[in-house]
Amino acid sequence: MQFDTFDIDAFLSDHWQKKPLLIRNPWKSWSNPLEPDELAGLACEEEVEARVIRQAGEALAVEHGPFAETRFGELGRASWTLLVQAVDHYVPEVAALIEPFRFVPNWRIDDVMVSYATDQGGVGPHFDQYDVFLIQGLGRRRWQIGGMCDEDTPLMVHQDLRLLADFEASEEWILEPGDILYVPPGIAHNGIAVGHDCMTYSVGFRAPSRSELIAHYCEHLLGEMDEDDRYGDPDLREQANPGEISAPAIARLHAMVTEAMRDRDAFARWFGQYNSTPKYPDVDWQPEEPIGIGELGETLAGGVPLCRNPASRFSFVRQGEEAVLLFVDGECFECADETAAFAEAMCAQERVMVDPKLMKSDAAMELIVALFNQGSVAFED
């Protein structure tokens, strides 16, 4: 799916991480990619993260999946919302919704959450800490936009939801199928279904916090450090006051902490692996039978394309002119020459035809075998 009328450059300049934007049906043709019954079926699966949010008097109550198939019939036509995370991992037609937004780098993409709501259903006024494109798939939804929020913004007391204690709408629109609302991080918003059978697709983007990066990178560094690497002062001289922590001592101690964190190449390798770790690492996507280079070569020679697993995360970091570090699902692969070009192609495209010349490269074939056997790529069905 591609946009028919949408100025990407103007959007990035004027709206991205700046202010909301209502985009009235920019598609060449819009067709809702998922039926409500199919979404409900996913919510019954053990490995799928799903929630139901329903009106309980004046408050909102949350139920967590997996759900029994009978649960949705029991809810009836009262005001409720079903939220299912990472539907793009399981439904190729939903994964295709990400493609038009590839003007944002892949490493920023999180997932596509899909919601279904009955009349007046919603999750309450809230704000997110990431960018999101809200695509109206089926039915109608009223979206209200408020002001900028932060960690000091008052929230309601709720065990499961981060709802705003005070919400005042400054703008309001009703979205029809195919319409999109972009909401930057921190902007208060509230969506309410107008009529039954309302479906919304939320294309969300990740933005790691400074504290998250520091905490996880330090944890990684600690795991690699030698306990014998300790402070030393072989040039020690007697000082006037033994109670003083001297400037040379502070400089030496500070260097012990900062030197390990200043290695840019080490950080790039760590971040590529950390950022490409699957959203749900416990889900096993490995094939039932691993493949060998011989079988791989035979299949590729038959002209069968390779396809990325929609649940997999691909990215790369350049290492000079003809080499890259390829990161896939938390693993790092060093690639050079024609293998590097192939790695870049896999990061840019969901589907790749392998050039017959590449099949003569042992490094390239070993890479494809590794990606296939860890479940990151598969042959097109």
**pLDDT of res. 57:** 77
Measured between alpha carbons, how far is 214 from 285 in angstroms, rounded to an integer?
A: 30
pLDDT in tens, 179-198: 999 999 999 999 999 999 99
pLDDT in tens, 273-284: 999 999 999 999
pLDDT in tens, 293-344: 999 999 998 989 999 999 999 999 999 888 999 999 999 999 999 999 999 9
260 pLDDT tier (thresholds 50, 70, 90): confident
Can you give the residue ranges of every domain in the chain?
8-205, 209-225+248-262, 293-379
**CATH topology classification for 293-379:** Malonyl-Coenzyme A Acyl Carrier Protein; domain 2 (3.40.366)
pTM: 0.92
Residue 212, CA distances (Å) to 132, 209, 274 in order: 20, 5, 11
Options 3.30.750.24, 2.60.120.650, 3.40.50.620, 3.10.129.10; CATH of 8-205: 2.60.120.650
4 pLDDT tier (thresholds 50, 70, 90): confident
pLDDT in tens, 45-67: 999 999 999 988 778 999 999 99
**pLDDT of res. 156:** 92
249 pLDDT tier (thresholds 50, 70, 90): very high
